[in-house]
Amino acid sequence: MLELNGVSVNYGAVQALTDVSLTVEQGEIVALIGANGAGKSTTLWTISGLVRPRRGRIIFDGQDIARMSPNRIVALGIGHVPEGRRVFATMSVQENLEMGAYVTKGGRKMREAMRRVFDRFPRLEERKNQLAGTLSGGEQQMLAIGRALMSRPKLLLMDEPSMGLAPMLVREIFAIIRELNAQGTTILLVEQNAHMALSIAQRGYVLETGSITLTGPAVELAGNPEVRRAYLGA
């Protein structure tokens, strides 16, 4: 479904990604783990078209999207839950969701999408007229996920959805990710919480200073001594 092939990204003189290749198959949850500054967010930004790769191809559903604008990439079916949630704090919950459906043509489709999000997250419906900035951290994360779902993505990119949340909420968010996947959304999950991420993913990649150093089935990675030492605190 998604294939990165030899992708390199620079920020000025800094090389953030070097020759990154990875694939995500339809229906999978793929975990991308790595330390601070490894380039995980950069990878997701590049897929979403926010950052232009210097080299390499990004194929989504048979099309090279490496030079497309972000709005076209969303329209093709890639949703993004950004790191740190980044809800529009001064806009209401409902307006935030409408922004997620920006590429959707027609009010009826938008209302249907919002209905589905509200059914999944009843708390968002209760607070639909509240400013997003006044929501709790967990609610903001649900809003960020709901907002990304508004465009009905086939592939969802999630950047550290568990960041800064209490353990109970982390479990709730992971349960939601699993449920979304069971209902047909393919997921590329970036996490520092490698343990949780590998427990729900089928496959994983380890990113170190901009390069993929390890890959394999999630259970294998979770058992790999190097991964255990570096990312699982064992």
Partner 1 sequence: MDLQTLLQQMINGITLGSTYALIALGYTMVYGIIKLINFAHGDVYMLGAFVGLAVVLMGANIWLAIFVAMLACLCVAVTIERVAYRPLRSSIRLAPLISSIGVSIFLQTLMTLLKGPQPVGFPQVVTNTIYTVGLVKISTVQIIILVVAAVLMIGLQLVIKRTKMGKAMRATSEDLRTASLMGINVNAVISFTFALGAVMAAAGGVLVGMYFNSVFPLMGVMAGLKAFCAAVVGGIGSVPGAVLGGLFLGVAEVLGVAAGLGSYRDAIAFGLLILVLLFRPSGLLGQPEQRKV
Applying CB under 8 A, among 34, 39, 53, 82 the residue interacting with partner 1 is: 82
Applying CB under 8 A, among 43, 140, 141, 151 the residue interacting with partner 1 is: 151
Q: What residue ranges in 107-200 does DSSP mark as E strands?
A: 155-159, 186-191
**Rule CB under 5 A: which residues touch Mg ion?**
41, 83
Question: Which sign, positive or negative, has the C-alpha torsion 41, 46, 52, 57?
Answer: positive
Those residues whose C-beta lies under 8 Å from the C-beta of residue 34, and which sit 6 or more positions away, are 40, 206, 207, 208, 231
39 binds ligand ATP (CB under 6 A): yes
161 binds ligand ATP (CB under 6 A): no
Q: How many residues does the chain have?
A: 234
Identify whether the C-beta of residue 114 lies closer than 8 Å to the C-beta of residue 150: yes
Alpha-carbon distance 214 to 208, whole Å? 9
- Report the nearest approach of ligand ATP to the CB of residue 190 (Å): 7
Alpha-carbon distance 148 to 104, whole Å? 12
Question: Which sign, positive or negative, has the C-alpha torsion 17, 19, 25, 28?
Answer: negative
Those residues whose C-beta lies under 8 Å from the C-beta of residue 163, and which sit 6 or more positions away, are 83, 84, 192
127 binds ligand ATP (CB under 6 A): no
Applying CB under 6 A, among 29, 30, 40, 79 the residue interacting with ligand ATP is: 40
Alpha-carbon distance 193 to 191, whole Å? 5
Those residues whose C-beta lies under 8 Å from the C-beta of residue 40, and which sit 6 or more positions away, are 32, 33, 34, 159, 160, 190, 207
- The site for partner 1, by CB under 8 A, has a size of 25
95 binds partner 1 (CB under 8 A): yes
Query: 102 or 229, CB closer to partner 1?
Result: 102
40 binds partner 1 (CB under 8 A): no
Stretch that binds partner 1, among 25-33, 83-91, 117-125, 205-213 (CB under 8 A): 83-91
Stretch that binds ligand ATP, among 32-40, 105-113, 131-139, 220-228 (CB under 6 A): 32-40
If contact means CB under 5 to 8 A according to the sort of partner, which of partner 1, Mg ion, ligand ATP, none does residue 214 touch?
none
Alpha-carbon distance 133 to 87, whole Å? 7
Stretch that binds ligand ATP, among 29-37, 89-97, 100-108, 150-158 (CB under 6 A): 29-37
Residues 65-84 that bind ligand ATP (CB under 6 A): 83
Where does this chain bind ligand ATP (CB under 6 A)?
Answer: 11, 14, 16, 34, 36-42, 83, 192
List of residues contacting partner 1 (CB under 8 A): 48-50, 69-71, 74-75, 80, 82, 84, 86, 88-91, 95, 98-100, 102-103, 147-148, 151
